[in-house]
Amino acid sequence: MIRLQQRPLLGLLVNPFGKTAKALELNGDLLQITKGRHTRSLLLETVTAAPVVRKGTFGAMLTIAYDSGGDVVLKGAAKADAAAFSETFRNAWICFNRTAFDKDASRFDRIHAGVRALAHPARYPAACQIAPLLNDARALDASLLSKLQPEAIGADAPRRIAIVQQFASDAQTERSKSIAAFVDAELDRWRDFFDTVESQPLTPEQRLSVVVDEDATLVLAGAGSGKTSVITAKAAYLLKAGIREPEEILLLAFAKNAAEEMSERVEARSGVPIVARTFHALAYDIIGIVEGSKPALADHATDDMAFSNLIKQILKDLVHRLSDVSQAIIQFFAHFLVEPKTEWDFKTKHDFYTHMESQDLRTLQGEKVKSYEELQIANWLYENGVEYEYEPIYEHKIPETGRRDYQPDFHLTESGIYIEHFGVRRQKVADGSERLVTAPFVEREPYLAGMEWKRQVHADHETILIETYSYERQEGRLLTGLAEKLAPHVTLKPRPADTIYDQIVELNQVDDFSKLLGTFLRKYKSGGYSLDDCEAKSDRMKLGKRAKAFLDVFAPVFEEYEKRLEGRIDFEDMILRAAHYAETGRYVSPFRHILIDEFQDISQSRARLVKALKAQQPDARIFAVGDDWQSIFRFAGSDIHLMRQFGAEFGGTFDNASGVHRTVDLGRTFRSVDQIAFAARTFVLRNPAQIEKQVIPAGTATEPAINIVAVPRAEDERKLSDVLAALSTGSNTDAKPASVLLLGRYRFNEPRMHELRRRFPQLQISFKTIHASKGLQADHVILLNADSGRIGFPSGIVDDPLLSLVSPEEEAFENAEERRVMYVAMTRAKYTLTLLASHSRPSSFVTELRKDPAYDIAAAPDAEPDVHVCGECGGRLLGVTGKDGRIWYRCEHVQHCGNLLLACPSCGTALPRKAEGMTEVRCGCGASYPSCPDCTDGWLVERKGRYGGFLGCVRYPTCVGKAKIATSKRPTTAKPRRRKRP
């Protein structure tokens, strides 16, 4: 113990108010400071510098700095006493720092060595490897290093401490430098391995993906980019580099044959047998280990057809057994099978008609109707046993009006009642009154006039007309109101539920609904959803009554499905049970590297299992190879959200950041030439939610690689034969036969393969659905039936909004999954891709490829139909050959619009059109005609009437536009022959 104090007389001069210390006393590691009557203590560890002694006029002054930013000052001390105290204090302070440093020397040396090793890492500095080092460095810095004073611990220690502190303060930068150093060195070290591990040397991108070894690594492997080579090389590298033992590596694939191929390739490349497994095989093994035996697997687990049949059987049994459930099922089929959209949801006729054509608006009686509200009425009539005809010709002949034969919407055959459904709603006006308004694209005044005309017809002929209105549906009373209006005239005889259901089966409506139910069920189970979850999400998404009606059916179907498992398990149960065992530690995972193929197909339940396995080992890594552009198995439970949010779902943590992962883009394709590769990339990236990737094509096309062939009605076989004949002619008969892959969106698209193979022996022809073609390639690909419609391509039945209830995020982009299906189809082709599309109803995908210059596709001469805009609805007027051999131009929306024009009477092929600002309609052949005063597309031709000749619209009787014959204005061509419909 040593003490220093002011000399009494000097103290009065230099410290009259007691603001500085009167006395200092060092006792071990504690400095006692006396000011006036108060004493406080200061630890040596807070002192930031050795004491400083200065000679003054009134004695010596000693100053000691400490970490709060202040100084301890004592003035008026004897110089010798101050010097002695300072020396003793300095030695104690140095001793204290060195002792503290020596005490944690081994810990510091270990951390220092770890940080130094980052400059030349022997292993990839993954977050899970470096995070413990960072935590130790920061803990030591906080407890010791930040408190040590450089001048107290010697010359070398501060330099070494600075290295550790630099890492602790900027770990992200230091780890990034370490990663770059490791990757450069490792690529060089394993150059020979990368050159020889596969039949062809790995690309730079493939090599990078192998040596990168983050907590979670996602390899974006586009079509034909060699993903199998990457995952094979990764496994072999881990073994050869001594990073992992065989039992620590888990290879996962989705299909059994893919797992077998992976196992064979890894053993061949590494010399070590590693068995790749499917998710289900792994899960089954885990269950067996934990439970001691494996439970029986449900018969339908491995058979999609059996699964679909089971759902259909459950529906049928519920209809026959439970009245309340049967009512819910019938209600869904009758009123919610299709999206309940009406003309009020669209701005143009063309948009409305296009939507209607994508929906199967088929009533329970079997006829197709023209609107959703008509469908509701028709199905209500059928449910209640009211016999009706849809759009029959009115029983009384209407005097010549220029109109088509009058066809009321419905005729009740037993009572003779007619029903007209009017597309009008009520609107409040400024004075408080109401007026009737029509849909956005319907002219109000002519429509209201048509309503009055129909009322007058029934009044004149004394037939009973019941009217229904769109505003009644809007107000939720369309069907109850109809029941009230019919009550005086009709006795309802409700059909039994099983009778209605048998009719639904007869109409083939159960199959698609069963697939929807099956897809929903699998996603519901694998995602761990509840009915409350689905109902809440339905409210958020405003899916309305259709979602409620669906859940009313799904709930009893799911309950019955679970009962019928009878102790057996399906694949969803299998994965979830295994995940639970891994999460709770009942299964102890040996896996420290999990390699997953086709990662874009992962489901919520599979992801849960992977996360549980990874969580068991602190340094476990996930290496996922996939392509979100090829995620096309939503119906089987795959969830593209998991790949798009890869880091958040599977990544590690480092330096207070979560979701740490690495993404490597393979980019290079070994399959498709540039025109196909770039067009496919552009096409799929129209959806901004897809992960952007670069594409390096396999070669350069020397001639157009993508061809679009327009197929006239009933000429599918002929056009396909023409394409195959051209490919056969160009095939080198001395070499291996060119492979031709015919692709269809559905199995029923398959042509007569035996006949095609017999006719074109020079070609190696095969057929696959697009889904089944994944992973395949061919020299030439022909996409069949690229047409629009509910069972066209894009399919109108795949992306049902109801599936969003069991998906983490909704895919807002229209036809999102179908666009990826199209990408898969395009990228099967190496040299040429041919799309066979209906001349009159081409797929919207084909139209996009044809019209958008971004795709750089040179269409074949017959690929672009002679298209004109329909003046009635905004659709397309397409040329067709009628039964009489003449050319007619018909609106593409033939079921709704019916606009029909005969080709120019002069040339017989082209369509006369009216140019802006002109009063005449002109044809490309030079002929001209007076334009019709009443319609957009028509022109006037000479006709005979009871009062002689006149000019009438070529569209008569659809249009009754007319004019007097002016001698100087006669058409430049002869009057056309009597029109015959095609």
* Binding-site annotation, residues for ATP: 221-228
**Cα(635)–Cα(645) distance, rounded to whole angstroms?**
20
DSSP classification of residue 58: T
| C-alpha 395, offset from chain centre | 53
**Cα(792)–Cα(373) distance, rounded to whole angstroms?**
24
Strand pairing class (778-783; 738-744): parallel
| Run of H or E including 160 | helix 156-169
**Cα(448)–Cα(509) distance, rounded to whole angstroms?**
36
Q: By three-state DSSP, how is residue 865 classified?
A: coil
Quick one: tokens of 411? 């005729």
AA letter at 526: S
**Residues placed in the known binding site:** 221-228
The closest alpha carbon to 833, from 704, 745, 678, belongs to: 704
Q: By three-state DSSP, how is residue 418 classified?
A: strand
**Cα(98)–Cα(109) distance, rounded to whole angstroms?**
15
Contact 233, 197 (CB under 8 A): yes
What Cα–Cα distance (Å) separates residue 624 from each residue in 599, 663, 910? 6, 10, 57
Quick one: tokens of 361? 């608006």
The closest alpha carbon to 419, from 476, 381, 362, belongs to: 381
Torsion (CA) 679, 642, 745, 257 in degrees, nearest 10: 110
Q: Is the peptide bond preceding residue 865 cis, with omega within 30 degrees of 0?
A: no
DSSP line for 476-506: T-HHHHHHHHHTTT----PPPHHHHHHHHHH
Output helix, strand, coil percentages for the chain, rounded to the nearest 5.
45, 20, 35
**Cα(684)–Cα(848) distance, rounded to whole angstroms?**
12
DSSP classification of residue 789: S
Produce one character per residue of 114-127: b if its CB has 16 or more CB atoms within 10 Å, e if not.
bbeebeebeebbbb
DSSP line for 499-567: HHHHHHHHTT-HHHHHHHHHHHHHHHHHTT--HHHHHHHHHHHT-HHHHHHHHHHHHHHHHHHHHHHTT
The closest alpha carbon to 951, from 973, 972, 935, 970, belongs to: 970
Residue with tokens 């939720």: 476
**Count of other CB atoms within 10 angstroms of residue 257:** 10
Dihedral-angle region of residue 404 (phi above 0 means left; psi in -120 to 50 means alpha; beta otherwise):
beta
- The strand pairing partners of 867, in sequence order, are 878
AA letter at 279: F
Q: Is the peptide bond preceding residue 982 cis, with omega within 30 degrees of 0?
A: no
Distance in Å from the first CA to the final CA of the chain = 118
